[in-house]
Amino acid sequence: MADVKRTWIKDAFWETPSKELLNCISEHKEGFKDVRQVHKLKRGDPLFDECVEQLTIEFIDKTTDERVNKKFKEQEQQRQLEINKRKAERLEQLFNYKLETFEVEDIKESKNRILKSRLRRAKSIPEVNLYAIMIIQDKLENDKETE
């Protein structure tokens, strides 16, 4: 074991804030073969000390920070995509709901362009319902006047 000359890849990072567990990759030669090993080393393990000595604590701190930031960014992007997904789904549902509302006979026949435009621009189902009621009321009033 002691004879093996390892090179520690420069992407080691602390698994825990207490720096008791180190995640690192080593490379060494075995005859003509290049051997690459992934380690999770506990403090007290001779390889732990070897890796820390070669890469230095400051360097491992830096790669750990970079990794945490990268993970945080990825999570944030994932969260944003989830929000967007829900938003897009809601928008599509709202579009469908508006189309169905426009098919209601009295709304279909209504000539009130202003209220119909407001309904089309509505941002939620309750708002659509509100304008739908207003359009129907307006239509009924107009029908009464015509009679």
Partner 1 sequence: MIKKPSKGYLVVASRKPNFYSLAINCIESIKDYYPDAKCCLVTEEKFLDGREDIADDLIFCDDHYRAKLWGMANSPYDITMYIDADSEIEHEDIATVFDELNNNDMMFHKLDEKYKKVYAITSFTYENVREYYTYCGGVCLYDMRNPLVKDFMNDWNDLFRKQYSKELILPMDPWQELWDFDQTTLWYLLNKVDKYKNIKVDSFKDNLRWNYFPHYERYFNAFPKDPVVIRHYSSYAQKDKSYA
Where along the sequence are the contacts to partner 1 (CB under 8 A)? 77, 80-81, 84-85, 87-89, 91-92, 95-96, 98-99, 102-103, 108-109, 113, 116-117, 120-121
Q: Name residues whose C-beta falls within 8 Å of residue 140's C-beta, 6 or more positions apart in sequence.
A: 106
Residue number with CB closer to partner 1 (58 or 103): 103
Q: Least separation, in Å, of the C-beta of 15 and partner 1?
A: 31
Q: Least separation, in Å, of the C-beta of 130 and partner 1?
A: 18
Which two three-digit tokens encode residue 45? Answer: 């393990």
Residue number with CB closer to partner 1 (24 or 107): 107
Q: Least separation, in Å, of the C-beta of 147 and partner 1?
A: 19
Q: How far is 83 from 96, CA to CA, in rounded Å?
A: 20
Q: How far is 133 from 119, CA to CA, in rounded Å?
A: 10
Q: Least separation, in Å, of the C-beta of 73 and partner 1?
A: 13
Which two three-digit tokens encode residue 120? Answer: 């089309």
Q: Name residues whose C-beta falls within 8 Å of residue 87's C-beta, 6 or more positions apart in sequence.
A: none
CA angle 50, 1, 37 (to 5 degrees): 65
Residue number with CB closer to partner 1 (7 or 117): 117
Q: Least separation, in Å, of the C-beta of 43 and partner 1?
A: 41
Residue number with CB closer to partner 1 (9 or 134): 134
Residue number with CB closer to partner 1 (27 or 100): 100
